[in-house]
Amino acid sequence: MTSRFQPRHGLVVTLLGALLCAAPAFASSVETLYDNDTNGMVPGPAATDRNYTFGVHSAWYGEPGVMPRWTERFARRLGGAGPDAVSRLSLFAGQELFTPDSLSDPNPILNDRPYAAWLFAGVTLSSTDERHARSLQVRAGMIGPDAQGQEIQSWWHRREHIRLPRGWRYQLANEPGLGVTLDERWRPYGRRRYADIVPHVRFTAGNVLTEAVVGATLRVGLPLANDFGPGAPSGPEGYVRGLRLYGFARAEGRAVARDIFLDGNSFQSSMRVHRVPLVGETQLGLDLRHGTMGMRYMFSYTTRQFHERPAAQEYGSVVLSF
């Protein structure tokens, strides 16, 4: 059964369209991330579509220190950074898809995670100085058929002659999603040229995800970028003279109180599994920057997330920035 987009759920798509039109004029730099769990993106034997199987995110970063007055006042109230802190505003949008392992099964799968899609947009306000970065992010969107997950995955699988997913009729129902995230990162020794470690903590609350995260990123480079590591909400380093090349390893632990993609819809009955409350994740990657251009590859490994299946999650990411 193919879902049809309903006008009463069109607000999210309208907001996404407005964001996509306005963001290029606003941005001083753009970063686009592509996640996938299939072969070509994941080292070793060929992977299959399961768990978090596809994601695309784009972020548009404003010029550091150039912000509307109301956001500057809010950034100062956000606190956490020193008197020399620089504020930055960014906009982002994206889509994520989650599927069970048995894509070809047209029946309800009771011992695996449900089909789900998440289409979202949001804004991030960050404040950084030499040693500390703090950011506040608000994300809103739509989960369910209106997020167009079935259409995207079916189109791609037909194009690549891959087995077609047959169980999207049992995906999570339409539900607006909202989340607020506070992220803190530190460079305990300030800017380092060849090696550093960047601890971080992150707290997210909302009907999509509620969790607390603690971790750290080790970077070794020739030389390092002058930022708070790959994926930092404050954004990548701006114009670079010469070449920046570094490898990184990240480890973090997550205490998860709610994950709608495992727990199911908030206000109605839906497919669901039994979530594991404590999850670990590791990432390995390589980051390259020259001038205003950047490229990054990252491999992610996440421990078991729900009790019904023992499998861990593996996926690869490619990030381009300019």
Per-residue model confidence as pLDDT tens digits over 206-258: 999 999 999 999 999 988 888 898 888 888 777 778 888 999 999 999 999 99
List the structure tokens of 32.
Answer: 């686009």
Q: What is the pLDDT of residue 24?
A: 54
Q: What is the pLDDT of residue 176?
A: 96
CA separation for the pair 291, 254 (Å, rounded): 35
CA separation for the pair 263, 179 (Å, rounded): 16
CATH-assigned architecture of domain 7-316: Beta Barrel (2.40)
Q: What is the pLDDT of residue 247?
A: 96
Per the DSSP assignment, residues forming a β-bridge with 32 are 58, 320
Q: What is the pLDDT of residue 50?
A: 79
Which stretches of the chain drop beneath a pLDDT of 50? 1-12
Q: Where are the domains of the chain?
A: 7-316
Provide DSSP, 121-147.
EEEEEEEE-SSEEEEEEEEEEEESGGG
**Three-state secondary-structure class, residue 73:** helix
Provide the 10 A C-beta neighbour count for residue 157. Answer: 15
Encode 214-245: b = buried (16+ Cβ within 10 Å), e = exposed: ebbbebebebbbebbbbbbbbbbbbebeeebe
User: Do the Cβ atoms of 195 and 219 come closer than 8 Å?
Assistant: yes
Question: Among residues 217, 303, 301, which one has the least CA distance to residue 256?
Answer: 303
CA separation for the pair 9, 79 (Å, rounded): 37
User: Do the Cβ atoms of 308 and 111 come closer than 8 Å?
Assistant: yes
Provide the 10 A C-beta neighbour count for residue 255. Answer: 12
Look at the chain and count its residues.
322
